[in-house]
Amino acid sequence: MEHIVWIVILVLGVYTIIPTLLVRLFGLGVYREGKGSQTIFLTFDDGPDPEYTPRLLDLLKQYDIKATFFVLGSKAEKYPELIVRMHEEGHLVGVHNYSHWANALMTPRRVRLQLHHAVEAIGRITGERPIYYRPPWGVINLFDFWLLKQFRMVLWSIIVGDWRSRGGKVKIKHRLVSRFKDGAVIVLHDSGQTIGANPDAPEYMLQALHEFVAEMQQKQYTFHRVDQIGWSNESTERLSWHKRLPLSLWLKWESLYHVFFALEPVDPDNQLLYYRVCTYHGKSIALPDGEEIRKGDRVVELHFNNEMMFHIAMDTRSMVQLAVQLIRAVQQLMPKMTERILNDTLTQDIKGIYGITMINRGPKQLGFTVTDLPRGLFFVVTKLYLRMLLLVVHPEGKKRLEIKKELLTPKILAISTKELQKRYSVSPGT
């Protein structure tokens, strides 16, 4: 009996638990939030509902805002006039399955049939085939990744438990405000007829939403449909899901690394380059201007934003093009870096800037000295790390790793504060 239990757990883990964690925690293949200042994306699940959906549409019309409705195909067939109204008033109509069943409880064939029936039902009403999809409860199974060829799967960044009446308007409003951030994709529910929901819950949602929308518009926020987002993972749409997995995991790791080491962007408006102030522990680096960075010196350590590198790489055809674009981008950021170093009291005593990279030809024209990374355990680990990064970030990374491996060797780049000031600053302290 115990063996059967473990087999069931294993099957469930592979079929639904692990895939759901990948999309919920790492955003693999799904959209969870948008990018853009002063933007909000309202989404509504489980409708249409004959009592609450018309009132919700009235509210949205009152404030002249557009939203996204993930509707059930069975309800769309029952209340087609509400789907027509959503469509005619400029809202986006997406799919939430035909019936409100979790994909984890269905076979892959059953999921496909659910989606087919829902898409057909909505298409007959609006004349357009919906391509935006939200699985009920945000739960998927392993085979749902193949749906990404036909649909754009949308989850959320804010969920407030508005399907329950307990706590009323106050609870919903508090959670909306306390969890809010720019580009939030908010999920609310305009029906209380699904499993686990209270029938009168949408009443409190409408009350809270009325106050929330009024306050956010006073703060100059704008509301958009989910197809109007500049998505953070826009470039990954060109990748198959099994290629998105290592990329998503890598970028998640990088975000944790940035937090752990308190990295800051050189320019908040162009976050390609990050830095931190630290103590140098490597071998001494002799620089052409007579300066020398020694063990114990305070230095600025540079790091590329690998998510931005990925987006740049997706639009380049070769490693040479990628290197050229990165060098140009860094060149534009160097004056900003110099300004921060010279004017910030926390960095005025630094000896110079250094970093480790495999793109080591172009930096010389920016004033950097390029030197070998000493052989040893750190060299081996760094080389492995950078090669894995190249494999993940660049679409031609695997091909590049198969040729001229001897050229893919990590190097140290360094430049003194004196040289920075000479090249990128008109005068000290300016």
Task: Detail the DSSP E strand segments found in 8-78.
Answer: 30-31, 34-35, 39-45, 68-71
Residue closest to 334 by CA, chosen among 411, 254, 410, 270:
270
Contact 48, 102 (CB under 8 A): no
Q: How far apart are the first and last CA of the chain?
A: 75
Is 45 known to be catalytic? yes
* Two tokens, residue 412: 């140290």
Cis before 288? omega within 30: no
> Which entry of 45, 144, 190, 297 is annotated as an active-site residue?
45
Which residues touch 390 (CB under 8 Å, ≥6 apart)?
358, 397, 400, 401, 408
SS3 category, 340: helix
* C-alpha–C-alpha distance, residues 302 and 354, integer Å: 6
Residues 6+ apart with CB under 8 A from 28: 22, 241, 244, 245, 248
The owner of tokens 């110079």 is 352
Please work out, in degrees rounded to the nearest 5, the angle formed at the alpha carbon of residue 415 by the alpha carbons of 411 and 420.
150
Q: Backbone dihedral region of 255: left (phi > 0), alpha (psi from -120 to 50 degrees) or beta?
A: alpha
User: Catalytic one among 91, 96, 100, 189?
Assistant: 189
Q: Report which of 217, 227, 202 is spatially closest to residue 57, judged by C-alpha positions.
A: 202
Active-site residue 189, yes or no?
yes
| 40, HSE (Cβ side, Cα atoms, 13 Å) | 25
The conformation of residue 421, written as its DSSP 8-state character, comes to H
CB-based contacts of 415, cutoff 8 Å, min separation 6? 287, 352, 353, 354, 366, 367, 368, 369
Give the chain's radius of gyration (CA, Å). Answer: 26
Residue that the structure tokens 């494999």 belong to: 391
Contacts (Cβ under 8 Å, ≥6 apart) of 310: 235, 247, 251, 392, 393, 394
Catalytic amino acids?
A: 45, 189
